Amino acid sequence: MIVTLTLNPSLDRTLEVEALRRGEVLRAASVHLDPGGKGVNVTRALLANGVGSRAVIPCGGAEGEQLVLLLAGESVHTVAVPIASRTRSNVTLVEADGTVTKVNEPGAPLTAAEFDAVAAAVLGSAGTADWVVMCGSLPPDVPVDVYAGLTAQFTAAGIRVAVDTSGPALLSAVAAGPDLVKPNRDELAEAVGAPLSELGDVIEAAQTLRERGAGAVLASLGADGAVLVDDDGVLLAQGTQIEPRSTVGAGDALLAGFLAGGARGDKALIEAVAWGAAAVGLPGSRMPCPADIRREGIVVVDLSREPGPPVSKLSAPGF
């Protein structure tokens, strides 16, 4: 069982348009409404592939009720904690060439009592969990060290912890010693305060996060695949290029695939890249099911056996 925590869930509306032109009236070719939030997506991807998972989320207002209904429609195991503020709504515009423009609301603030209720729900669900996965941005006024505090509680109880967030919340969580963090390239660059234009830069930045406390770093690099840096060394996985339809949720699917694959070694990294690539080819923030996932053509290279970090230009931002 994998328990996910999403402190800032959302309703995600995705509109596909031919091209985004400012100041004009645009007609969408299609519209998708999906439950959103990084941890929610991890649970959705896991359940779609037969892996047990439960999502803990704060929910409020009509949007929160609709979010719960959408999750129930997908048979997602949800622990919904009621809050006074309404759940946020996000809008994503996807152009025909794969360009994605997102407009995200800041989210619903949580009172101290509401956060305590959410934390208690996670603790209550985590007793038999293999992993607790804490994902996404923080709602307004929530302290940046909340993931760090929860990480310390779970690791002390012998539960493995994965964190997928960014900015100060990521740095704070890393210092608490999570078993795994999953930044994309931009988030990793922000964490170390340096641009990452080459593969060697990514590896060095991942090692920096490990020195600061993270047990393993899974860095998603979009079209360039993913890098895993842990006690076993450095692995790079890359697959064949696919025609992108939407990158929304692709990083969440990648993390879910890695956990489903055992969270270690070649097999887990192949699953990660395969699940992430499958999500890119789906509309909106749909999560891939077994029929969508293709593992053929994914190659894993053990870079720790190379004489030095490869000098390889990165082609695209990660998801």
Tell me the C-alpha to C-alpha distance, in Å, between residue 267 and each of 21, 65, 227, 258. 43, 38, 13, 8
Q: Which residue has the tokens 């339809």?
A: 245
pLDDT at 265 over 80: yes
Separation of alpha carbons 276 and 202, rounded Å = 19
Annotated catalytic residue within 97, 252, 266, 302: 252
Separation of alpha carbons 42 and 249, rounded Å = 8
Q: What is the pLDDT of residue 247?
A: 83
231 annotated active-site: no
Separation of alpha carbons 16 and 41, rounded Å = 20
Q: What is the pLDDT of residue 15?
A: 92
Question: Is 129 domain-assigned?
Answer: yes
Q: What is the pLDDT of residue 318?
A: 57
pLDDT at 112 over 80: yes
Using one digit for the tens of pLDDT, what is the confidence trace for 158-188? 899 999 999 999 999 999 999 999 999 999 9
Sorted by sequence, the CB contacts under 8 Å of residue 49 that are 6+ apart come out as 256, 260, 275, 288, 289, 290, 293
Q: Which residue has the tokens 């395969």?
A: 274
Domains of the chain: total: 1
Tell me the C-alpha to C-alpha distance, in Å, between residue 13 and each of 1, 68, 283. 29, 15, 11
pLDDT at 308 over 70: no
Of all residues in the chain, what percent carry a pLDDT higher than 70? 96
Residue type, 275: W
Question: Is 311 domain-assigned?
Answer: no
Question: Is 316 domain-assigned?
Answer: no
CB–CB of 244/16 below 8 Å?
A: no
Q: How confident is the model at residue 120 (pLDDT cuts 50, 70, 90)?
A: very high
Q: What is the pLDDT of residue 152?
A: 94
Question: Is 312 domain-assigned?
Answer: no
Q: What average pLDDT does range 215-227 have in this prediction? A: 95
Q: What average pLDDT does range 303-307 have in this prediction? A: 74
Separation of alpha carbons 6 and 137, rounded Å = 8
Q: What average pLDDT does range 242-251 have in this prediction? A: 81
CATH number for the domain spanning 85: value is 3.40.1190.20
pLDDT at 203 over 60: yes
Q: How confident is the model at residue 32 (pLDDT cuts 50, 70, 90)?
A: confident
Which element (helix H / strand E) includes 41?
helix 38-48
Q: Three-state SS string across 64-125, please?
A: HHHHHHHHHHCCCCEEEEECCCCCEEEEEEEECCCCEEEEECCCCCCCHHHHHHHHHHHHHH
pLDDT at 268 over 80: yes
Q: At what angle do helices 185-192 and 167-175 cross, to 10 degrees?
A: 70
Question: Is 55 domain-assigned?
Answer: yes
Question: Is 290 domain-assigned?
Answer: yes
State the sign of the Cα–Cα–Cα–Cα dihedral 71, 32, 164, 226.
positive
Residue 263 structural domain: 2-305
Tell me the C-alpha to C-alpha distance, in Å, between residue 288 and each of 191, 272, 274, 278. 29, 12, 10, 6
Q: What is the pLDDT of residue 53?
A: 97
Q: What average pLDDT does range 289-318 have in this prediction? A: 79
Q: What average pLDDT does range 118-126 have in this prediction? A: 90
pLDDT at 142 over 60: yes
Separation of alpha carbons 214 and 177, rounded Å = 5
Q: What is the pLDDT of residue 178?
A: 98
Tell me the C-alpha to C-alpha distance, in Å, between residue 138 and each of 8, 51, 103, 155. 6, 26, 16, 21
Q: What average pLDDT does range 252-281 have in this prediction? A: 97
| Beta-sheet strands, E only, within the chain | 2-6, 10-17, 30-36, 53-59, 78-82, 88-95, 100-104, 131-135, 160-164, 180-181, 216-220, 226-230, 233-238, 299-302
Question: Is 114 domain-assigned?
Answer: yes
pTM above 0.75, yes or no: yes
CB–CB of 188/213 below 8 Å?
A: no
Average pLDDT, the chain: 92
Question: Is 156 domain-assigned?
Answer: yes
Separation of alpha carbons 292 and 114, rounded Å = 38
